[in-house]
């Protein structure tokens, strides 16, 4: 089977990344948003997704990218061949180029303008796997892509999932992965490694809850108990800062008296008994309902498990509760209208089952007041759920119900 040709734009970008890692000009995959000078040693200028506001340009030093790629290969079991299915304009896709360049192995990549399909992934993976010999093959995906692969296999089109199961590791990041999705992937023989990180940390730097070599994790408690706190990440993979925004850089990147540098994320987390990190979701996603703070992530995991889908839990303005806790679950069986996804409420028995389980396992305030199904959750960036879009869907539906 012939090896797929590398799209010209990706080939040019890969060569530029390789040169930047060796001290060449910084790679700028998207148009600049500021005229601020680029710090010496910068290899990549990456734009954040804008999920916390206006997108910013992040300066990633070559040393940080090298440290990230080296620690990733070490964790996965050694350098290998990479397959690119993510946009090469965001940090996850660019890191595939970095790892491939530093490994010195062939790269297979989808056309950046092509729509992801299970058979399209198979067309990339199958010849790469056949030609790899003893080289491991790695691919980086987002949860939505894995969901589509599993759904296609269930519908009688298993090529993509079968090829994925032959990979040495599948890095899964960009958004929280619902536990049922992880379980279904594992049952299919897919070797999933969940990743946590962001542009400011050169992409994923915590794999399956454990930091990569050199990476440090700590929690800054917002309350005296200290059980839950804001996640801070340190180590050699940190960005230099935000270009043209010294105030934002100073607020996000901090240096301890001993010289250790940290990036303060916008996420809440807790440390499990085995020391691994459990991310509970964004601090600003916390829903205040009836005067009680509810972190969406545990509720999303529970609802997704019960209803076998990807769930998003949001707060919707409510006269009685301040914010009503509402869950929206992506289900292929739900209808999609001409202007986008529609939502429909679950039946009363299903709602009662979800509320009972949430009350028992998480406490009464974590029981969603309403639960809806939709064909697909609105997204912002590669794999990231647009929570404001989910709120808009709910409010629009309820205004006309």
Phi-psi region of 134 (alpha: psi -120 to 50; beta: other; left: phi over 0): alpha
Per cent of the chain over pLDDT 70 is: 93
Half-sphere exposure of 313 (CA within 13 A, CB side): 29
Q: What count of other Cβ atoms lies within 10 Å of the Cβ of residue 26?
A: 18
3-state DSSP assignment of residue 345? strand
pLDDT of res. 50: 60
Q: First CA to last CA across the chain, in angstroms?
A: 54
Tally of CB atoms within 10 A around 88 = 22
Residue with tokens 């934002």: 248
Structure tokens at 157: 């089109």
Separation CA 89–CA 108 (nearest Å):
16
Cα four-point dihedral sign 218, 221, 227, 231 = negative
pLDDT at 268: 87
Q: Among positive and negative, which fits the CA dihedral 5, 162, 373, 344? A: positive
The whole-angstrom separation of Cα 34 and Cα 245 is 9
DSSP 8-state code for residue 174: S
The sign of the CA dihedral 141, 274, 267, 301 is positive
pLDDT at 318: 84
Separation between Cα atoms, residue 352 and residue 90, nearest integer Å: 41
Q: Which burial class, exposed, middle or buried, applies to 14 when counting CB atoms under 10 A from its CB (0-12, 13-18, 19+)?
A: buried
- In whole angstroms, what is the distance from residue 326 CA to residue 342 CA? 15
* Residue numbers in the chain where pLDDT is lower than 50: 1, 335-336, 338
What is the per-residue pLDDT across 53-109, written as a single tens digit (0 to 9) for each? 578 999 999 999 999 999 999 999 999 999 999 999 889 999 999 999 999 999 999
As a whole number of angstroms, the distance between CA 161 and CA 150 comes to 7
172 near 203, Cβ under 8 Å?
no
Contact criterion met (CB below 8 Å) for 43 and 27: yes
> In DSSP terms, which residues pair with 25 in a beta bridge?
none
Q: What is the pLDDT of residues 224-276, one digit of tens each?
A: 556 888 999 999 999 999 999 999 999 999 999 999 999 999 888 989 999 99
d(CA 340, CA 397): 13
pLDDT at 52: 52
Q: Residue 295 burial by CB count (10 A; 0-12/13-18/19+): exposed, middle or buried?
A: buried
Q: List, in order of start, the domains of the chain with CATH numbers.
A: 8-207 (3.40.50.12780), 286-400 (3.30.300.30)
């Amino acid at each position: 089977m012939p090896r797929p040709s590398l799209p010209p734009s990706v080939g040019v970008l890969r060569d530029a990344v390789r040169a930047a890692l060796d001290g060449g000009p910084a790679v700028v995959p998207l148009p600049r948003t500021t005229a601020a000078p680029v710090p010496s040693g910068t290899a990549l200028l990456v734009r954040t997704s804008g999920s916390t506001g206006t997108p910013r340009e992040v300066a990633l030093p070559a040393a940080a990218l090298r440290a990230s790629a080296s620690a990733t290969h070490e964790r996965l079991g050694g350098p290998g061949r990479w397959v690119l299915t993510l946009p090469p304009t965001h940090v996850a896709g660019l890191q595939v180029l970095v790892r491939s360049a530093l490994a010195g192995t062939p790269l297979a990549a989808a056309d950046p303008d092509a729509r992801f399909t299970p058979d399209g992934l198979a067309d990339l993976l199958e010849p790469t796997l056949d030609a790899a010999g003893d080289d491991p093959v790695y691919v980086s995906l987002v949860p939505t892509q894995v969901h589509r692969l599993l759904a296609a296999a269930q519908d009688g089109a298993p090529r993509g999932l079968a090829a994925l199961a032959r990979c040495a590791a599948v890095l899964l990041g960009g958004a929280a992965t619902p536990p049922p999705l992880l379980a279904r992937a594992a049952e299919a023989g897919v070797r999933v490694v969940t990743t946590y990180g962001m542009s400011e940390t050169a992409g994923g730097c915590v794999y399956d809850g454990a930091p990569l070599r050199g990476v440090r994790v700590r929690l800054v408690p917002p309350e005296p108990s200290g059980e839950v706190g804001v996640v801070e990440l340190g180590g050699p993979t940190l960005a230099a800062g935000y270009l043209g925004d010294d105030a934002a850089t100073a607020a996000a990147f901090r240096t301890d008296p001993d010289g250790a540098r940290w990036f303060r994320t916008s996420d809440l987390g807790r440390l499990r008994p085995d020391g691994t990190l459990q991310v509970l979701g964004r601090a600003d996603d916390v829903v205040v309902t009836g005067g009680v703070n509810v972190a969406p992530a545990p509720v999303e995991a529970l609802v997704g498990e019960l209803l076998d889908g990807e769930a998003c839990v949001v707060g919707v303005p409510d006269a009685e509760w301040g914010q009503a806790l509402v869950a929206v679950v992506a289900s292929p069986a739900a209808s999609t209208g001409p202007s986008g996804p529609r939502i429909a409420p679950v039946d009363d028995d299903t709602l009662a089952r979800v509320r009972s389980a949430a009350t028992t396992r998480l406490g009464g305030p974590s029981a969603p007041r309403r639960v809806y199904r939709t064909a697909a959750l609105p997204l912002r960036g590669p794999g990231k759920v647009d929570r404001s879009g989910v709120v808009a869907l709910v409010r629009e539906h309820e205004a006309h119900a």
